[in-house]
Amino acid sequence: MKALLSATWLLFVTHLPRLLRSRRTLLVLIVALIPAAIAWIVTSVALKRSPSPGAVATMGGWILLMQVVVPLTALVMGSAAVAEEVEDRTLTYLFTRPMPRAALLLGRWAAIAVVLTVILALATWLFLVAAGRARGEGPQLDAGVRWPLATAVLMGGLAYSAAAAALGAFVRYPIVIGLGYAFAVEGFLANLPGKNQMLTLQHHLRSWIMAQGSETWSRFEKFTTAGTVDARTAAFVLVGVVVVALAVGSWRLSRREFLLSA
């Protein structure tokens, strides 16, 4: 266990600065700032009926942040944890060292999680600042709107990125499968009426928001036809996804052989 922890820490501290200067991180940052940019534009142009800050925050948060930005950025970042080393053929150096192979997944994912959390926190804050510029009448931007959204964004980022990172221990191109799953399967299921919604991460993120949020969020109840789970269950499932994904990914990584071309 000590060997695993120290190797994970080594991978974490080595990967973190590399991540900060990578083009992938820059791309993710740009994508993450799109909702804030859109909110800024919406609150800047003169509309016939100006929206309220709460309306902009909940609508943009529900659709843009939760359903597009969080899965997209988390999958792009998370999928690189193992797959990048395979693609760059540098995995050999790490797998012929006396360290637990699982440390590669855990250490690199931990670095990704830190960077992703900072990016998503920044993106959400800027989005809420932009939404706060709205001048229309109606629900305002209170803590019951802000905090459930911000915490759901961060939890979603961790859950999706952990799943994508673990996927890299199984397949060569986890980004393709991850994005396919997030948008074609989960995006589809989460928005279809019926109990299928409960099988998605989106359902639990929405449940978290609905359970924690103010009345302003209640107009999205019609999207959760399967009903919602309480906040504790939602958090338990989301944390569980992270733990199980990393455990299964680590297990697979410890046993799998990778064919790296010369």
Partner 1 sequence: MTPAVEAHDLGRWYGDVVGLSDVSLTVEGGIVGLLGANGAGKSTFLKLLVGELRPSRGTIRVLGEEPFANRRLYQRLGFSPQQDALWADLTARETLTFLLRASGFARPEARRRAGAALERVHLVEAGDRRVGTFSKGMRQRVRIAQAIAHDPALVVLDEPLNGLDPLARRDTLDLFRALAAAGTHVIVSSHVLHEVEELTRTVVLLHRGRLLALGPAPEIRALLDRRPRRVAIRARDPRRLARALLEVEGVTAVRLGDAGLLDVETARLDELQERLPAIAARERAGVRSLTVSDASLDSLFDDLVGGVR
Binding residues for partner 1 (CB under 8 A): 3, 7, 10, 14, 18, 21-22, 88-90, 92-101, 254-255, 257-262
Q: Does residue 253 contact residue 105 with C-beta atoms inside 8 Å?
A: yes
Q: How far is the CB of 186 from partner 1 (least distance, A)?
A: 33
Q: How far is the CB of 260 from partner 1 (least distance, A)?
A: 6
**Minimum CB distance to partner 1 smaller for 3 or for 26:** 3
Could you tell me the sign of the dihedral formed by the alpha carbons of 128, 132, 137, 140, in that order? Answer: positive
Distance CA 33, CA 173 (A): 26
8-state DSSP, 199 = G
Distance CA 60, CA 94 (A): 42
Distance CA 168, CA 38 (A): 33
Q: How far is the CB of 11 from partner 1 (least distance, A)?
A: 8
**Minimum CB distance to partner 1 smaller for 89 or for 172:** 89
Distance CA 256, CA 32 (A): 34
**Minimum CB distance to partner 1 smaller for 1 or for 261:** 261
CA atoms within 13 A on the CB side of 233: 11
**Minimum CB distance to partner 1 smaller for 1 or for 257:** 257
Distance of CA 127 to the CA centre of its chain: 16
**Minimum CB distance to partner 1 smaller for 48 or for 93:** 93
Contacts of residue 79, defined as CB under 8 A and 6 or more positions apart, other chains included, come to: 164, 165, 167, 168, 174, 175, 178
Q: How far is the CB of 254 from partner 1 (least distance, A)?
A: 7
Residues in the chain: 262
Q: How far is the CB of 257 from partner 1 (least distance, A)?
A: 5
**Minimum CB distance to partner 1 smaller for 45 or for 88:** 88
Q: How far is the CB of 248 from partner 1 (least distance, A)?
A: 17
